[in-house]
Structure 1
């Protein structure tokens, strides 16, 4: 089961199909998160961003990293 943006991760024994959407623009992903999408954990919540939104906001995303990462 994949958590939707804005939902905490929860384990469960009943898998259900959920459409993953970009937390910024709402673009849907077909199946599991594509390798080109970015995953971010903000305030304990996992959020996914499509490749277009991630590229457009790359500087802001990288700006949050500690200097040890770059």
Structure 2
């Protein structure tokens, strides 16, 4: 994996972790409103898409390394 791919993968990983952590923090709040739940859903979806991007990067790299 090249240096740019590594940086991008690490960036995606960091942002995915941040999205998940923020969603967890929001869910712990005792008085969630609908818009808060929507925000949590957006964060979880963004983390999911980033994890898919990480998987794609890893698959592409594994395919080239073989």
Q: TM-score band, normalised by the shorter chain?
A: under 0.3
Higher RCO (CA < 8 A, seq sep 6+): 2
TM-score (norm. length: structure 2): 0.22
Structure that is richer in strand per residue:
1
